Amino acid sequence: MKVACIIVNYNDFKTTEILVNHISNYQTIDNIIIVDNCSTNESFKRLSKFESDKIKVLRANMNNGYGAGNNIGLLYSKEKLNCDYAIIANPDVLFSENFVLKCVDFLVYTPDVGIVTGVMLNGNSEVEQQNVWSLPSACWEVFDASSILKRLFSFSKQVRTNVLVDSELEYVDVVSGSLFVLDINKFLEIGLFDEEVFLYGEENIIAIKMKRFKYKSVRILSINYNHFHSTSITKEYSKMFSRRKLMVRSKKIILRKYHKLKKWKLIILQLLLDLTLIEAALIEIIRNFKNKKIEID
């Protein structure tokens, strides 16, 4: 039984270095695979210094997004290193060796489970609940893209009903992509990450695929990890409108490919998603105006 840790880096080698240094001596991890997603800075050169028998540094030919980067690492870990389980880790997380041990053990002894994670803590070690949620409906995918609708209905993420097995374990629908452990063979069976999606919504797609193949996801409540939120899409896409465009594109793909919708309903929901772009543009204009006014005052 071999375990790999896959870390996708894009222009953020300093954060990736911290994580690699933190986990490089873990006995529970056989290989660490760093996938540089065709960074435009010196990331690949800086990260290549970690290359060893245990640590592999790969470079994508182009940046096709979060999912594509992880797929490179997953396929390499299976085809070249013959690994059975993989940790999918954002560069801006830290986790213990006990986290790996408990997640992998659960996957080994629970054949109908394909993904395991723990409780997410922020940089101050405070519990954050956003690392699991209910599988969104088609309509909720639209609500989630709108700042106004989310505030109007007091939604930040669709409230999830816990299915507790005991005090340490719960079955969940969707697991955050910040950190989770997966069974590689099961993940290959469901078709890996959807590379048509560049960013946003990958976790919901995985949850839909997992359900289709009757595999389950679990959160173990007795283990946790820190997510520092230091690697952010806002570094690369500083404007709200740019981020919203990425989100809307992904949600249109999700609606088209993963929800069985009648044509008229799909058209309406896609039009509503386009309206959220107008909303984002207006919000950004108002914010810029207020900021300029403050500077003048």
Q: What percent of the chain has pLDDT over 90?
A: 75
**Separation between Cα atoms, residue 121 and residue 169, nearest integer Å:** 17
Q: What percent of the chain has pLDDT over 70?
A: 89
**Separation between Cα atoms, residue 59 and residue 167, nearest integer Å:** 42
The pLDDT-based confidence of 153 (bands split at 50, 70, 90) is low
> Which carries the bigger pLDDT value, residue 156 or residue 121?
121
Mean pLDDT of 75-92: 97
Locus of tokens 């409230």: 159
What is the predicted pLDDT for the residue at 240?
Answer: 72
**Separation between Cα atoms, residue 121 and residue 124, nearest integer Å:** 7
What is the predicted pLDDT for the residue at 158?
Answer: 52
**Separation between Cα atoms, residue 207 and residue 220, nearest integer Å:** 17
pLDDT in tens, 239-295: 778 889 999 999 999 999 999 999 999 999 999 999 999 988 888 777 766 666 555
pLDDT in tens, 204-220: 999 999 999 999 999 99
What is the predicted pLDDT for the residue at 179?
Answer: 98
CB 42 within 8 A of CB 16: no
What is the predicted pLDDT for the residue at 281?
Answer: 86
Burial class (CB in 10 A: 0-12, 13-18, 19+), 271: exposed
SS3 content of the chain, % helix, strand, coil (to 5): 45, 20, 35
Sign for the pseudo-dihedral over CA of 155, 205, 214, 83: negative
Residue 236 has pLDDT above 90, yes or no: no
pTM: 0.91
pLDDT in tens, 94-151: 999 999 999 999 999 999 999 999 999 987 777 876 799 999 999 999 998 988 877 7
What is the predicted pLDDT for the residue at 290?
Answer: 63
pLDDT in tens, 158-202: 545 556 556 788 999 999 999 999 999 999 999 999 999 998 999
Mean pLDDT of 11-31: 97
CB 35 within 8 A of CB 64: no
Locus of tokens 């594509």: 68
For residue 4, what are the β-bridge partners? 31, 86
